[in-house]
Amino acid sequence: MSGEIDLVIFDCDGVLIDSEIISAQMLVAELAGLGVTIDLPYVARHFLGRSYPTVMKVIRAEFGVDLPEAFEDQYRQRLLAAFEARLAVMPGAAGVLAGMARPWCVATSSSQARAERSLAIAGLAGLVGARLFTAGMVVNGKPAPDLFLLAAARMGADPARCLVVEDSLNGIRAARSAGMRVWRFTGGSHMGPDLEDEPEDARPELRFASFAGFFQIDSRLGGIGQIGGKT
């Protein structure tokens, strides 16, 4: 791989933790209770990689529904309960984080509270520590580049020398808009056998489906203490 990489920015949901399928199923179920019918492909097309406020704004606009005041708290509580029961770290992700030879951080469209709890449940909180940047830290969420640019600035890195690892098209768009390289992780449970079309503005440099071979893509990124395929 050509070009120096000074910082690797990992998305969280659907990349480090296998949470997107749980979130999508929960959202479909909660909205069904309000008479709004959507399916998992709809969620993938319209909501993957976007913040909760943005998702709710789209739902209000598309379906003309006024969500109850308690909807957000109820959804978040039920989602975290589902995470407690079902959330898993992506196979190999913890080993990759532990073996990184380049500075790295996490930038996610989740809220601070949800991201911290999710990482704790998945056993990654100790590895990530304070290197966590969340949707509430910027005005414009993905696909705007703001969150990735903030992460790079806080980590002291030139955006042109940053690599983003993302699963969603909106995340890829955000990375490219930030002037960063981007790899697409396709190994999450929410990814079907047939990936959606990648428009020109959401086309990654490469795709990979397993963290087991992450350092084989570019050995300069690390490998110290990394055990291929294990968590």
Amino acid (one-letter) located at 181 = R
Architecture of domain 20-86: Orthogonal Bundle (1.10)
State mean pLDDT over 27-50. 85
- Dist CA 23 CA 80 (whole Å): 9
pLDDT at residue 114 tops 70: yes
CA distances from 46 to 62, 109, 164, 211 (A): 11, 14, 21, 26
- Dist CA 113 CA 125 (whole Å): 12
State mean pLDDT over 187-203. 80
**pLDDT the model gives residue 108:** 96
State mean pLDDT over 96-108. 98
- Chain length of the chain: 231
The catalytic site residues sit at: 11, 13
- Dist CA 97 CA 206 (whole Å): 19
Model confidence at 64, in pLDDT bands (50, 70, 90)? confident
Amino acid (one-letter) located at 217 = I
Q: How many CB atoms lie within 10 A of CB 140?
A: 13
Please tell me what DSSP assigns to residue 197. Answer: P
The percentage of the chain sitting over the pLDDT mark of 90, rounded to a whole number, equals 65
**pLDDT the model gives residue 231:** 40
**pLDDT the model gives residue 193:** 62
Model confidence at 1, in pLDDT bands (50, 70, 90)? low
The reply to whether 20-86 shares the fold of 7-19+88-221 is: no
**Domain 7-19+88-221, CATH class in plain words:** alpha beta
Per-domain boundaries in the chain = 7-19+88-221, 20-86
Tokens, residue 38: 């959507």
Among candidates 121, 89, 128, which has minimal Cα distance to 231?
89
Q: How many CB atoms lie within 10 A of CB 81?
A: 11
pLDDT at residue 225 tops 50: no
Question: Comparing 29-33, 45-49, 50-54, 224-228, which segment has the lowest mean pLDDT?
Answer: 224-228
Tokens, residue 59: 């739902």
pLDDT at residue 70 tops 90: no
The answer for 220, left when phi > 0, alpha when psi is -120 to 50, beta otherwise, is alpha
